[in-house]
Amino acid sequence: MVSRKVLTGIVLIIVGIALVVPGAFVIASEPSGNTVMHYSSDVYTSPEFNFSENKILIMVSSNNASAGLVNCTAFRADASAFNSSNLHSYTVAPSKQIDGEPMYENLNGSYKYVVVSTSKPTLDYNFISHSEIRDVTDASYAAAMGALLLGAGIIITMVTILFGKINSRRPR
């Protein structure tokens, strides 16, 4: 009976590893960036994002209330006038929020993420296609399931081995 439980635990460990490793690899290979360029005294920008290829922009962090996505045409025309009180009038509203971070999709043309700040901000972003976000989502589910199976396999195997040793030491 003990060997069946240990075998079950080992199978769960192997299946868990088989799900975690490729899932983690796909998640780690997700294209991301963190380039911040200083435009003028208090204006910082990301590189240009070209949405004509049906891409999605997820801002992972910007840590600044005076920030947003601005069309490059408006940026070139009015960037010198940007300040913390008027930047919002130039920005595009995010499509939705993902874990409190803005996500932009279904846009056409080129945009820059603009931050008005007295010090260099932190910008982390993912500019990816719909298929890449689907792949990352699927990989995260697979990795999570693999982690659960791996944990269950370790617990089953260890508990079975430990109780087997404890029971074998008991006098009969």
pTM over 0.75: no
| 128 falls within a domain | no
pLDDT for the residue numbered 86: 87
Instruction: Give the structural domain span for 160.
Output: 2-28+134-169
pLDDT for the residue numbered 170: 67
Q: How far apart are CA 142 and CA 119, in angstroms?
A: 40
pLDDT for the residue numbered 85: 86
The type of residue at 119 is: S
- What is the number of domains present in the chain? 2
Question: 46 and 105, same structural domain?
Answer: yes
| 75 falls within a domain | yes
Question: 96 and 138, same structural domain?
Answer: no
pLDDT for the residue numbered 2: 61
Question: 51 and 6, same structural domain?
Answer: no
pLDDT for the residue numbered 143: 93
Question: 95 and 19, same structural domain?
Answer: no
pLDDT for the residue numbered 148: 96
pLDDT for the residue numbered 146: 95
Instruction: Collect all residues with Cβ–Cβ distance below 8 Å to 119 and sequence separation of at least 6.
Output: none
pLDDT for the residue numbered 62: 62
pLDDT for the residue numbered 155: 94
Question: 99 and 79, same structural domain?
Answer: yes
Question: 163 and 114, same structural domain?
Answer: no
| 104 falls within a domain | yes
Question: 88 and 58, same structural domain?
Answer: yes
| 129 falls within a domain | no
pLDDT for the residue numbered 8: 92
| 102 falls within a domain | yes
| 142 falls within a domain | yes
| 150 falls within a domain | yes
Give the bridge partners for 12, in sequence order. Answer: none
- What does the buried/exposed string (b/e) look like for 78-87 if buried means 16 or more CB atoms within 10 Å of the residue's CB? ebeebeeeeb
pLDDT for the residue numbered 126: 84
Question: 92 and 115, same structural domain?
Answer: yes
| 45 falls within a domain | yes
Per-residue pLDDT of the chain (172 residues; tens, 9 = 90+): 568 888 999 999 999 999 999 988 887 877 778 888 888 888 889 899 998 777 888 887 666 678 889 999 988 888 788 888 888 888 999 898 877 788 898 888 999 999 888 888 888 888 888 778 788 888 889 999 999 999 999 999 999 888 877 666 666 6
Question: 41 and 66, same structural domain?
Answer: yes
Question: 87 and 51, same structural domain?
Answer: yes
SS (H, E, C) the chain: CHHHHHHHHHHHHHHHHHHHHHHHHHHHCCCCECCCEEEECCEEECCCEEHHHCEEEEEEECCCCCEEEEEHHHHHHHHHHCCCCCHHHCEECCCEEECCEEEECCCCCEEEEEEECCCCCCCEEEEEEHHHHHHHHHHHHHHHHHHHHHHHHHHHHHHHHHHHHHHHHCCC
Question: 118 and 42, same structural domain?
Answer: yes
